[in-house]
Amino acid sequence: MNQKSRDPIESLFSEERVFPPPDAFAQAAGLNEARYRELLAEAERDYEGFWAKRAREEIDWITPFARTLNASEAPHYRWFEDGTLNVSANCLDRHIAERGNKPAILFEGEPGDVRVLTYAELLAEVGRFANALRAQGIDKGDRVIIYMPMVPEAVIAMQACARIGAIHSVVFGGFSAESLKGRIEDAQAVAVITADGGHRGGRVIALKTVCDKVLADCPSVRSVIVLQRAGNPIAWQEGRDIWWHDAVAGRDSHCPPVAVDAEHPLYILYTSGSTGQPKGIQHAAAGYLLGTILTMRWVFDIRDDDVFWCTADVGWVTGHSYVAYGPLACGATMVMYEGAPTIPDAGRFWQLCERHRISVFYTAPTAIRALKKLGDEYPRRYRLDRLRLLGTVGEPINPEAWMWFHDVIGQGRCPIVDTWWQTETGVHMIAPIPGVTPLKPGSCTRPLPGIVADVVDGEGRSIDDPNTGGYLVIRRPWPSMLRTIWGDPERYRETYWARFENRFYVSGDGARRDADGYFWVMGRVDDVLKVSGHRLGTMEIESALVAHPLVAEAAVVGRPDEVTGEAICAFVVMRATRPRPEERPAVTETLRRWVADQIGPIAKPAEIRYTDNLPKTRSGKIMRRLLRAVASGQGITEDVSTLENPDIIRQIQDEGAA
Ligand code: ATP
Ligand code: MG
């Protein structure tokens, strides 16, 4: 086989179901077919003009920009660079006249405490806290670590940083002391904002105690601001630690927003680490803000009477774009929930939907699969009739999980926006327009206006053959793109641009396009399996397994095989308990035959291992590289403390030995 034919990824899978937008939805949608076509045509005709127009319409500038795109130091692109603005003023101040008394945040703690913050109240809290940061000597450009539970103060802290031009770096509250330390050091942070503890899964997560394990070794940190949330006992270092309530006591609620350049870094966020060492992704104020606003309108069809709930933690990019910034920049009402979906029982999400009258609900496939496994009786207990739009992000969604979300949660009435994007892209890149785009379960559909996504082969040529997968790339820079990897411009170029000589942004994902131009993400390029000369993505085989009624979740990886090059090894979580050893050969044969029937004999797993759970990152993504090591009999050498469920590794290894 020659080099050329080795690069494409073969597709074995075809999904025939199509769901056009319901008439009622399409008629009421903010972006209709005609307007959508206009936007596409406008971007096609004059790419920079298209973005300049959007930036002038959507952002309140302090100094208007004249220069739209500067590509002189590509791939370090600069957008709207001679303009100045303040992101927090765009999220808060500009709504006060019309929406001062409108709820901005509806918060519910895991123990059930509820708190409502109107736009006017949120602005005052942000102002007070911004003044408190100033009083701690924190200034424009300083880096501030936010290590908090999912409480309104996490958003207040992020907005307060934006208000004074400090650069925040949120670290997910479930991360270990070592991960926290690595991020503090990499960012050279001057302050840490944390809490005594947060409620999660029926326990108190002692955040301040985790900080204390490493802060002695982090000389850059001068102050630690501690929110009192869970009331758990904590240690204290005078002179460095200060309670949040003391820091804000007596402070003015008015803090004038600082003008920053469009390209001023708004934040650094480390990626989730599914594929390796996390990267400090740096985003720029104006372009990022613009992306969050447009996608809130286009993809979430956000309206003044909506109650929007994105379940992501602020520790992930999704919690930045669609909790801390996007909804506020659009003047929306949003829900924040502190805890786990299964406390007190598996109905908590649906109870929240009923109680807060949620109309737009955005979550991850991992949550959907987990809640589906727990049974339909939970959603059936609650009134979900206010829901009008659903969304997913984080991984490809298996058509089976999509159908459940659509039928049981959306009751057949709600479009589902499957949004493909990354920490690096800042906001949605490929996603449906819910009032316009017919949906196909498992496809993120088409690129948004102004986003030039493509699928290319190993030489960088567009692949037009509908059944052939390749590299998912973005051909032109876009405003909300990452600007660099913090402190490591070389790694930025190497990771995202070098593969095709800086010609386009390389996402690292594999995808194919179907005959209608719909994109289907096939998994990570690094995870592609090479079986008997065929290159297969992980997504299709996993989807076939999950479509079997016995199976709740599946992950497939390759292990070296003398005959076939690589053999397919599947890790399967059953809907019920794991089959007993004597039952396994029959179950395995059933599933192997099922995969062969569904997508073809070549995709039949050589081996199936049964487990109670899959190893996942803290954001719920399957860690295939760990499974690959287990499948090939190698030991696991890396730190597994960043896993959501490190204990599962032992079970999976023992299972292999059995
Ligand atoms: P790291 O880059 O450190 O390995 P990560 O890629 O998991 O971490 P994120 O930026 O949070 O970190 O995730 C982006 C990735 O998630 C995408 O590259 C893609 O693989 C996957 N993804 C996100 N949304 C979708 C979606 N709707 N469909 C398919 N895949 C998706
Ligand atoms: Mg990634």
Q: 365, 366, 350: which is closest to 411 by C-alpha? A: 350
Is the pLDDT confidence value at 655 over 80?
no
Three-class SS of residue 104?
A: strand
Q: Is the CB of 509 under 6 A from ligand 1?
A: yes
Provide the pLDDT for residue 80. Answer: 98
Complete DSSP assignment for 124-187: HHHHHHHHHHHHTT--TT-EEEEE--SSHHHHHHHHHHHHHT-EEEE--TT--HHHHHHHHHHH
Q: Is the CB of 295 under 6 A from ligand 1?
A: no
Provide the pLDDT for residue 657. Answer: 54
Provide the pLDDT for residue 635. Answer: 78
Across 290-298, average pLDDT: 99
Provide the pLDDT for residue 219. Answer: 97
Is the pLDDT confidence value at 4 over 50?
no
Across 587-615, average pLDDT: 95
Is the pLDDT confidence value at 192 over 90?
yes
Is the pLDDT confidence value at 277 over 60?
yes
Q: Are 505 and 511 in contact (CB under 8 A)?
A: no
CA of 511 to the centre of ligand 2 (A): 14
Provide the pLDDT for residue 542. Answer: 96
How far, in Å, CA of 492 to CA of 485, rounded? 5
DSSP 420: B
Distances (CA, A) of 325 to 28, 286, 557: 25, 12, 37
Task: Out of 3.30.300.30, 2.40.10.10, 3.80.10.10, 3.20.20.70, select the CATH number for domain 528-655.
Answer: 3.30.300.30
> 267, 269, 271: which to mutate for ligand 1, most atoms within 8 A of CB?
271
Provide the pLDDT for residue 8. Answer: 84
> 267, 421, 474: which to mutate for ligand 1, most atoms within 8 A of CB?
421
Torsion angle, alpha carbons of 4, 5, 6, 7, to 10? 60
Provide the pLDDT for residue 656. Answer: 63
Q: Is the CB of 523 under 6 A from ligand 1?
A: no
Across 374-401, average pLDDT: 96
Q: What pTM was computed for the model? A: 0.96
Torsion angle, alpha carbons of 407, 410, 412, 414, to 10? -140
Is the pLDDT confidence value at 237 over 50?
yes
CA of 509 to the centre of ligand 1 (A): 8
Provide the pLDDT for residue 564. Answer: 87
Q: Report the alpha-carbon angle 431-434-435, nearest 5.
A: 140
Starting from the CA of residue 424, give the closest ligand: 1
> 277, 451, 507, 621: which to mutate for ligand 1, most atoms within 8 A of CB?
621
Pairing of strands 280-284, 265-270: antiparallel
Q: Are 162 and 343 in contact (CB under 8 A)?
A: no
Task: Out of 3.50.40.10, 3.40.50.12280, 3.40.50.12780, 3.40.50.620, select the CATH number for domain 15-119+259-511.
Answer: 3.40.50.12780
Q: Are 144 and 138 in contact (CB under 8 A)?
A: yes
Q: For the chain, what's the residue count? A: 658
Starting from the CA of residue 276, give the closest ligand: 1
Q: How confident is the model at residue 337 (pLDDT cuts 50, 70, 90)?
A: very high
> How many Å is the Cα radius of gyration of the chain?
24
Across 569-588, average pLDDT: 95
CA of 422 to the centre of ligand 2 (A): 6
Nearest Cα residue to atom 28 of ligand 1: 396
Provide the pLDDT for residue 620. Answer: 86
Torsion angle, alpha carbons of 627, 629, 635, 639, to 10? -70
In this predicted model, what pLDDT tens digit does every residue of 6-49 receive, in sequence order?
A: 578 888 888 889 999 999 999 999 999 999 999 999 999 999 99
Torsion angle, alpha carbons of 248, 110, 155, 214, to 10? 80
- Which tokens sit at 321? 């774009």
Numbered ranges of CATH 3.30.300.30 in the chain: 528-655
In this predicted model, what pLDDT tens digit does every residue of 216-227 receive, in sequence order?
A: 999 999 999 999
Q: Using the atom order of ligand 1, give the atom closest to the CA of residue 279.
A: 3
Starting from the CA of residue 275, give the closest ligand: 1
In this predicted model, what pLDDT tens digit does every residue of 343-386 receive, in sequence order?
A: 999 999 999 999 999 999 999 999 999 999 999 999 999 999 99
Q: Is the CB of 567 under 6 A from ligand 1?
A: no
How far, in Å, CA of 642 to CA of 176, rounded? 7
Query: Which residues fall within 8 angstroms of residue 367, CB to CB, at 6 or more apart?
Result: 311, 341, 349, 620
Q: Using the atom order of ligand 1, give the atom closest to the CA of residue 523.
A: 20
Across 82-100, average pLDDT: 98
In this predicted model, what pLDDT tens digit does every residue of 535-545 receive, in sequence order?
A: 999 999 999 99
Is the pLDDT confidence value at 642 over 80?
no
Q: Are 36 and 436 in contact (CB under 8 A)?
A: yes
Provide the pLDDT for residue 145. Answer: 98
Main-chain phi, psi angles of 583, to 5 degrees:
-85, -20
Provide the pLDDT for residue 647. Answer: 83
Longest dimension (CA), the chain: 74
Is the pLDDT confidence value at 2 over 50?
no
Which of 134-143, 147-156, 323-332, 563-572 is predicted least confidently?
Answer: 563-572
Query: Which residues fall within 8 angstroms of residue 652, CB to CB, at 6 or more apart?
Result: 571, 609, 611, 615, 627, 630
Across 568-596, average pLDDT: 96
How far, in Å, CA of 244 to CA of 557, rounded? 47
250 or 647, greater pLDDT: 250
Three-class SS of residue 220?
A: coil
- Which tokens sit at 288? 């990022």
Across 432-439, average pLDDT: 98
Q: How confident is the model at residue 5 (pLDDT cuts 50, 70, 90)?
A: very low
Q: Which helix (H) or strand (E) holds 215?
A: helix 207-215
Provide the pLDDT for residue 483. Answer: 98
Average pLDDT, the chain: 95
Across 451-475, average pLDDT: 95
Is the pLDDT confidence value at 631 over 50?
yes
Q: Is the CB of 271 under 6 A from ligand 1?
A: yes
